[in-house]
Amino acid sequence: MTTFFEHQKSSFKRNYLKNLIVLASADGALGEDERALITRIGLRRGLKAWQIDELFSDIRDHQTFLPESMANKMNMLYDLMELVYVDRQANANEIRYIRNLLEVFQLKQELMDELISLFKSGPPSKIDWMDFVDNTCRITVEA
């Protein structure tokens, strides 16, 4: 029997992944590279392949899911930026989506330039990403 907390955790993961699918589709098409990356992220986050396939086939409108904790917000930013640059370029819709998310997360818009710099040549190293997260959290606390 599924407990309430297991259901809640599974719902969080599905909504999280659906955000990635919506962003990847923002340019009008969901490419194979984007689909493969979303699948890897979903598996890494603990979803089953059939759950991920179900999300890809769900064409209903999706309300953007917003994580509450700073750690989950930063994880989402990482995954979204990795997805934006899977094809080595970011289009205006993708950048607008990330900028809106920064605003909703109550993070400074200047972070967009740092995110672009970190991801334009591929995902940053763990150390570079952790430095970015630490600086972002420090700035957010000071504000």
The distance between the two most distant Cα atoms of the chain, rounded to a whole number of Å, is: 46
Segment of 6-15, 63-72, 131-140 carrying the highest mean pLDDT: 131-140
Residue with tokens 């970015």: 132
Confidence of residue 137 (pLDDT cuts 50, 70, 90): confident
Give just the sign of the alpha carbon dihedral 83, 128, 121, 112. Answer: positive
Residue 2 has pLDDT above 70, yes or no: no
Q: What per-residue confidence (pLDDT) applies to 117?
A: 92
**Span 54-77, pLDDT tens digits:** 998 886 766 767 788 898 899 989
Number of domains in the chain: 1
Give the integer Cα–Cα distance in Å for 96 and 100.
Answer: 6
3-class state of residue 59 by DSSP: coil
Confidence of residue 27 (pLDDT cuts 50, 70, 90): low
CATH of the domain at 14: 1.10.3680.10
Q: What per-residue confidence (pLDDT) applies to 116?
A: 92
Residue 87 has pLDDT above 90, yes or no: no
* Domain extent for 61: 4-142
